[in-house]
């Protein structure tokens, strides 16, 4: 089956300007060669700490940021090169749900307009038809019909996320990017939202790119997981395989640093030293080697490539050949 | 049985706002023993931050006010102290670190400048001696290159390093109690692990008691000796960490634990606590959790539950744990 | 129908009354509001309440001092100054409202587009605004009015042009902030074009600051318009405009103080009224203070 979304070698560098005249001094290598493919009904979890580039990948896939190199294809059609009208036609198939329930909704817009806007902008419906579809969508995400005439501040964080989800799904997209959708929510609300998102996928077959820094949420939501570090994917595997045996030392560090709600297992160990480095001054060779507990000579000199080590389980690490 | 370091009895705090009176805390009682790490867990709006700030009397009046209760620290009621006496306690005997160190540190002064100021304020030492103390403190929080760090500005340091500076600063005057309000929530998980290890190490070593506030149950499970769970302005359960996580007794605690996605177990769907957190302006009568509770029965919407103690050291504010006689008298009425 | 309208605007209505309540407690707001309402009332009722005809010449009563028949005295053609002052309010306020509407509308759109599009477009537009702003407003208005020819309408256009960059610059600043919010990215992801986003998202979020700036600029506008008339570039005789009256009254200032003083006083009070009301409004609408 053809993948719904295919990203090949995405690269995005942000130029850094310094000095009085804004001379460009260096590059912030936010995303440095990321590839993946997503099929219908599948969720790919993109996990990593701050500065790893996962949010940037999300924006690149949606064409909210221009690619420096690489391509994004939607069902075989290359999205990254589209502009104007052609791009807008494709846009209704690629949607996004953002992190911050405070700023992801326009405080001056009624829910009706916020959720209905994608329909109007894409000329998929007008007038009463818009209201009808908005009501139906709100019901599907667990809100009541009378909420159409309310403003965002009248809702709780969890409800606002539901509105954001309704807005993303109303045009019937095939692919949705979730950028840390529950990071700002309480645990009990997060559970509701995650259940809802999974349920919608089961019913409609959406393909999800689920971005988060929280490994336990990623595990719960994803079929496949890609671990990012400083702009590249260091390991990717099916969820069960990744947690069965994590190959890359960074993945292992992430897992061991994750505090588990079980005092009998004192597992939270700081396996890596130092802070998360910035993508401006990248280390030579393997990006992770300065912090890696298993670094060797070769790691300082050459950057390992992403290679398939076990069935459908790839990693970029010299430990594996 | 030695007296607890901090004992809060029946604390009530209210905020007077345009929309009405917010009953932020009601009937809150808590003990922190010397040298122990007590975790205070709850979701947004449960009042955990308000509780911590009340201890140091940092609640702005207006609009907030402590309307009832006592806060006994080493036997003295902090509420009754004068402002000057309270100022002497802050930073000296009780210190506090916050979630976002960027707002606690002044961006226009170097780290060294600020640290030395704190030391000089609380201890009568000269500048060179203060500097030496600062370098020493930074070494204890495992800061690489402490001399260099003193010359840097806050924005030149990473989040993890800033928190370490905060920890160093707040512990420099050897307080007996440290209030930590979500100190690692804004940090990456690998950095969080480092900072928590440092925090635990240094507080245990010096016998500093910690009131650790967090919404992250995982962190609390890994770090704390005892845990208190808060909901809608009150404490619903207190016990050792092991007991709370292995055998939670309050329906809210249970619901919370079942709602978390786990690494060690696979779950198809997460258990959800139905409903939403109530407004604190007009909270439910009786037990504040009762509208969302699947186990409610007669007394729950009428009488606020007191603390029952179904097993030693494990206190629950839930009528389900009332004595048999009590339950019988309810079913009769 | 009405029900739906009420539900849709329920929150705005509540916010409006809350704002009014806060304003009532603010002394400058109340004072400013009283002044403004007084002036507006005077302007609206002038045709009905004014004792005389503003352009009625009565050479027998020239330069009469304030007294029983003429509360503010008469001018050099015997026209009642009180009546002319009342009618003057109509003109000044009309100019003020029109200028603010034009400058506010155009300036806001220019600023929003500039701020949202950024980069070269933003640079170009803002430098153009800078050029206009680098002139003292009165001087520029004078030059424009002179070039266009002395008349009331031309005065309005001239002053409006001078005020546009103030709105543009402010709205541009707000647009820069709003642009970074996630709902803008969400709108782009939904397929909305730049113009749609500027119209539906950016402008509504700048609305209240435009109102506040408008109130403050109104005062300045009245002053500039009066100055233009003062030097003969605005309204032409016999139109009773405050600035024009002062211009003529200047000659008689020593012996017939009432001629220039009353219109001058009214300019002063009106401008102050708008300014203090605008300041209070800005404070009251500040989201932090509203808590």
Whether B273 is covered by a domain: the verdict is yes
Contacts of C3 in chain A (CB under 8 A): none
Question: Which carries the bigger pLDDT value, residue B227 or residue C59?
Answer: B227
Are the beta carbons of A257 and A293 closer than 8 angstroms? no
Structure tokens at B236: 């619903």
Report the domain count for chain B: 1
Query: What's the pLDDT at A210?
Result: 96
Contacts of B43 in chain A (CB under 8 A): 186-188
Please write the tens of the pLDDT for every residue from B233-279.
999 999 999 999 999 999 999 999 988 888 877 767 788 888 888 88
- Of A197, C65, C211, A249, which is closest to residue B269 (Cα–Cα)? A197
Quick check: A92 and C189 CB within 8 A?
no
Q: Is the pLDDT reported for residue B206 higher than 80?
A: yes
* Chain A interface disruption, residue of B189, B197, B231, B292, most A CBs within 10 A: B189
Quick check: B221 and A258 CB within 8 A?
no
Whether B145 is covered by a domain: the verdict is no
Say what percent of chain A tops pLDDT 90: 47
Q: Is the pLDDT reported for residue B49 higher than 70?
A: yes
Nearest to A257 among B189, B216, B272 (CB): B189
CA distance A277 to chain C (A): 25
Quick check: C204 and A108 CB within 8 A?
yes
Nearest to B259 among A191, A262, A271 (CB): A191
Contacts of A104 in chain C (CB under 8 A): 181-183, 186
* Confidence tier at A212 by pLDDT (50, 70, 90): very high
Query: What's the pLDDT at A7?
Result: 93
Minimum Cα–Cα distance from A109: chain C residue: C201
**CA–CA gap between residue B227 and residue B247 (Å, rounded):** 13
A95 touching C (Cβ < 8 Å)? yes
How many beta-carbon contacts under 8 Å exist across A and C?
73
Whether B149 is covered by a domain: the verdict is no
Q: What number is the average pLDDT over the span B172-177?
A: 88
Are the beta carbons of A63 and A87 closer than 8 angstroms? yes
- Laid out side by side, the sheet with B76-77 consists of B20-32, B6-17, B64-73, B76-77
A253 touching B (Cβ < 8 Å)? yes
Please write the tens of the pLDDT for every residue from A15-63.
877 666 666 677 888 999 999 999 999 999 999 998 899 999 999 999 8
C191 touching A (Cβ < 8 Å)? yes
The three-point CA angle B4-B10-B16 to 5° equals: 130
Quick check: C192 and A95 CB within 8 A?
no
Quick check: A258 and B271 CB within 8 A?
no
Query: What's the pLDDT at A43?
Result: 95
Whether B129 is covered by a domain: the verdict is no
Question: Which carries the bigger pLDDT value, residue A103 or residue C287?
Answer: A103
Question: Which carries the bigger pLDDT value, residue C76 or residue A251?
Answer: A251
Query: What's the pLDDT at B94?
Result: 92
CA distance A92 to chain C (A): 6
Contacts of A95 in chain C (CB under 8 A): 189-190
Q: What number is the average pLDDT over the span A56-72?
A: 91
Structure tokens at B329: 């008298």
Structure tokens at B124: 């009568």
CA distance C208 to chain A (A): 11
Minimum Cα–Cα distance from A199: chain B residue: B269
A175 contact partners, CB below 8 Å, separation of at least 6: A4, A5, A38, A74, A93, A94, A95, A206, A207, A208, A209
Nearest to B257 among A256, A258, A261 (CB): A261
* Chain A interface disruption, residue of B99, B188, B215, most A CBs within 10 A: B188
Query: What's the pLDDT at C58?
Result: 80
Structure tokens at B308: 């029952």
Question: pLDDT below 50 — which residues of chain C?
Answer: none
Q: Please report, for the domain that includes residue B215, its CATH number.
A: 3.40.50.300
Q: What number is the average pLDDT over the span A109-132?
A: 89
C3 touching A (Cβ < 8 Å)? no
Query: What's the pLDDT at C4?
Result: 66
Whether B159 is covered by a domain: the verdict is no
Asked if the interface predicted TM-score (ipTM) of this complex is over 0.85, the answer is: no
Question: Which carries the bigger pLDDT value, residue A207 or residue A284?
Answer: A207
Structure tokens at A256: 């061991």
* Chain A interface disruption, residue of C3, C6, C186, most A CBs within 10 A: C186
Whether B32 is covered by a domain: the verdict is yes
Contacts of A121 in chain C (CB under 8 A): 187, 190-193, 196
Query: Which residues of chain A from 134 to 153 reach within 8 Å of chain C, CB to CB?
Result: 149-151
**CA–CA gap between residue A142 and residue B254 (Å, rounded):** 24
In this prediction the pTM is 0.85
Question: Which carries the bigger pLDDT value, residue B232 or residue A23?
Answer: B232
DSSP string, chain C: -HHHHHHHHHHHHHHHHHHHHHHHH-HHHHHHHHHHHHHHHHHHHHHHH-SS-TT---GGGTTPPS-SS-TT-B-TT--BHHHHHHHHHHHHHHHHHHHHHHHHHHHHHHHHHHHHH-HHHHHHHHHHHHHHHTS-HHHHHHHHHHHH-SSHHHHHHHHHHHHHHHHHHHHHHHHHHHHTSHHHHHHHHHT--HHHHIIIIIHHHHHHHHHHHHHHHHHHHHHHHHHHHHTTSSS-TTS--HHHHHHHHGGGTTT-HHHHHHHHHHHHHHHHHHHHHHHHHHHHH-TTTT-
Whether B241 is covered by a domain: the verdict is yes
Query: What's the pLDDT at A181?
Result: 92
Q: Is the pLDDT reported for residue A185 higher than 80?
A: yes
**CA–CA gap between residue C256 and residue C252 (Å, rounded):** 5
A41 contact partners, CB below 8 Å, separation of at least 6: A201, A202, A205, A206, A207
Please write the tens of the pLDDT for every residue from B286-302.
899 999 998 888 888 88
Whether B66 is covered by a domain: the verdict is yes
Q: Residue B268: which domain range?
A: 6-93+175-332
Please write the tens of the pLDDT for every residue from C93-146.
999 999 999 999 999 999 999 999 988 899 999 999 999 999 999 899 999 988
Query: What's the pLDDT at A270?
Result: 66
With contact defined as 3+ CB pairs under 8 Å, the chains touching A are B, C
Structure tokens at C117: 């599009």
Per-residue b or e along A288-305, where b marks 16 or more CB atoms closer than 10 Å to that residue's CB? bbbbbeebeeebeeebbe
* Confidence tier at A267 by pLDDT (50, 70, 90): low
With contact defined as 3+ CB pairs under 8 Å, the chains touching B are A
Query: Which helix (DSSP H) or strand (DSSP E) does residue B55 occupy?
Result: helix B48-55
B276 touching A (Cβ < 8 Å)? yes
Query: What's the pLDDT at A321?
Result: 66
Give chain A's mean pLDDT: 88
**CA–CA gap between residue B142 and residue B81 (Å, rounded):** 37
Query: What's the pLDDT at B20?
Result: 84
Contacts of B218 in chain A (CB under 8 A): 216, 258-261, 268
């Amino acid at each position: 089956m053809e993948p719904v979304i295919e990203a090949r070698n995405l690269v995005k560098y942000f130029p850094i300007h310094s000095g009085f005249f804004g001379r460009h001094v260096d590059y912030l290598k936010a995303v440095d060669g990321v590839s993946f493919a997503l099929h219908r009904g599948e969720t790919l979890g993109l996990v990593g700490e701050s500065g790893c580039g996962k949010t940037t990948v999300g924006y690149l896939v949606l064409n909210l940021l221009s690619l420096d190199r690489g391509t994004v294809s939607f069902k075989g059609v290359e999205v990254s090169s589209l502009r104007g009208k052609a791009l807008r036609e494709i846009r209704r198939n690629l949607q996004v749900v953002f992190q911050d329930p405070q700023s992801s909704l326009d405080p001056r817009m009624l829910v009706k307009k916020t959720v209905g806007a994608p329909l109007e902008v894409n000329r998929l419906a007008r007038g009463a038809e818009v209201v009808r579809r908005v009501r139906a969508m709100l019901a599907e995400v667990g809100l009541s019909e009378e909420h159409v005439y309310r403003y965002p501040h009248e809702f709780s964080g969890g409800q606002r996320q539901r509105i954001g989800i309704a807005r993303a799904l109303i045009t019937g997209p095939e692919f949705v990017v979730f950028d840390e959708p529950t990071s700002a929510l309480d645990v009990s609300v997060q559970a509701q939202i995650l259940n809802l998102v999974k349920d919608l996928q089961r019913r409609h077959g959406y393909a999800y790119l689920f971005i988060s820094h929280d490994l336990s949420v990623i595990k719960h939501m994803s079929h496949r997981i890609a671990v990012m570090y400083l702009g590249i994917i260091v390991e990717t595997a099916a969820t069960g395989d990744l947690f069965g045996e994590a190959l890359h030392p960074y993945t292992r560090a992430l897992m061991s640093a994750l505090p588990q709600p079980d005092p009998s297992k004192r597992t939270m160990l700081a396996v890596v030293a130092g802070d998360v480095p910035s993508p401006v001054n990248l280390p030579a060779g393997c990006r992770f080697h300065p912090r890696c507990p298993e670094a060797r000579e070769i790691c300082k000199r050459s950057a390992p490539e992403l290679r398939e080590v076990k069935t459908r389980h790839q990693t970029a690490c010299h430990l594996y050949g | 049985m030695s007296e607890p370091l901090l004992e809060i009895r029946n604390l009530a705090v209210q905020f007077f706002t345009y929309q009405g009176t917010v009953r932020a805390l009601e009937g809150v009682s808590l003990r922190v023993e010397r040298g122990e790490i007590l975790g205070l867990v709850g979701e947004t709006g449960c009042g955990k931050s308000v509780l911590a700030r009340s201890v140091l009397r940092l609640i702005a009046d207006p609009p907030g006010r402590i309307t009832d209760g006592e806060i006994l620290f080493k036997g003295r009621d902090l509420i009754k102290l004068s402002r000057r006496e309270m100022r002497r306690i802050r930073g000296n005997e009780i210190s506090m670190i916050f979630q976002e160190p960027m707002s606690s540190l002044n961006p226009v002064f170097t780290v060294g400048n600020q640290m030395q100021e704190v030391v000089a304020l609380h201890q009568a030492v000269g500048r060179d001696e203060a500097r030496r103390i600062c370098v020493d403190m930074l070494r204890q929080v495992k800061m690489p290159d402490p001399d260099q760090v003193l010359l840097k500005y806050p924005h030149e340091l990473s989040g993890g390093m800033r928190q370490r500076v905060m920890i160093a600063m707040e512990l420099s005057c050897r307080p007996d109690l440290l209030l930590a309000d979500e100190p690692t929530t804004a940090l990456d998980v690998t950095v969080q692990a480092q900072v928590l290890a440092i925090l635990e190490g240094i507080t245990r070593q010096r016998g500093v008691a910690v009131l650790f506030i967090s919404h992250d149950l995982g962190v609390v499970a890994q770090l704390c000796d005892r845990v208190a769970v808060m909901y809608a302005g009150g404490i619903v359960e207190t016990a050792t960490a092991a007991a709370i996580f292995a055998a939670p007794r309050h329906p809210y605690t249970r619901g919370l634990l079942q709602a978390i996605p786990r690494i060690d177990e696979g779950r198809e769907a997460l258990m959800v606590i139905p409903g939403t957190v109530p407004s604190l302006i007009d909270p439910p009568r009786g037990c504040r959790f009762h509208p969302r509770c699947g186990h409610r029965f007669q007394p729950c919407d009428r009488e606020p539950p007191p603390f029952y103690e179904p097993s030693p050291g494990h206190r629950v504010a839930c009528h389900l744990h009332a004595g048999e006689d009590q339950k019988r008298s309810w079913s009769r009425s | 129908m009405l029900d739906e309208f009420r539900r849709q605007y329920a929150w705005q209505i509540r916010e409006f009354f809350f704002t009014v309540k806060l304003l009532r407690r603010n002394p400058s707001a109340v004072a400013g509001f009283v002044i403004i309402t007084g002036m507006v009332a005077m302007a609206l009722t002038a045709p009905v309440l004014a004792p005389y005809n503003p352009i009625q010449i009565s050479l027998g009563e020239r330069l009469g001092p304030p007294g029983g028949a003429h509360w503010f005295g008469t001018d050099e053609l015997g026209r009642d100054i009180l009546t002319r002052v009342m009618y003057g309010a109509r003109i000044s306020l009309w100019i003020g409202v029109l200028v603010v509407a034009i400058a506010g509308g155009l300036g806001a759109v220019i600023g929003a587009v500039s701020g949202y599009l950024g980069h070269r477009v933003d640079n170009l537009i803002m430098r153009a605004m800078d050029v206009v702003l680098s002139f003292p407003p009165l001087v520029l208005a004078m030059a424009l009015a002179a070039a266009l020819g002395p008349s009331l309408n031309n005065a309005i256009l001239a002053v409006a042009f001078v005020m546009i960059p103030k709105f543009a610059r402010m709205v541009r600043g707000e647009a820069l902030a709003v642009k970074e919010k996630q709902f803008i990215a969400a709108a782009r992801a939904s397929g909305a074009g730049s113009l749609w986003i500027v119209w539906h998202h950016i402008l509504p979020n700048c609305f209240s600051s435009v109102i506040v700036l408008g109130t403050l600029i109104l005062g300045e506008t009245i002053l500039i318009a009066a100055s233009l008339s003062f030097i003969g570039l605005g309204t032409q005789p016999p139109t009773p405009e405050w600035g024009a009256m002062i211009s003529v009254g200047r000659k008689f200032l020593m012996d017939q103080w009432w001629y220039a003083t009353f219109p001058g006083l009214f300019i002063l009070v009106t401008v102050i009224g708008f300014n203090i009301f605008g300041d209070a409004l800005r404070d009251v609408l500040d989201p932090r203070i509203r808590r």
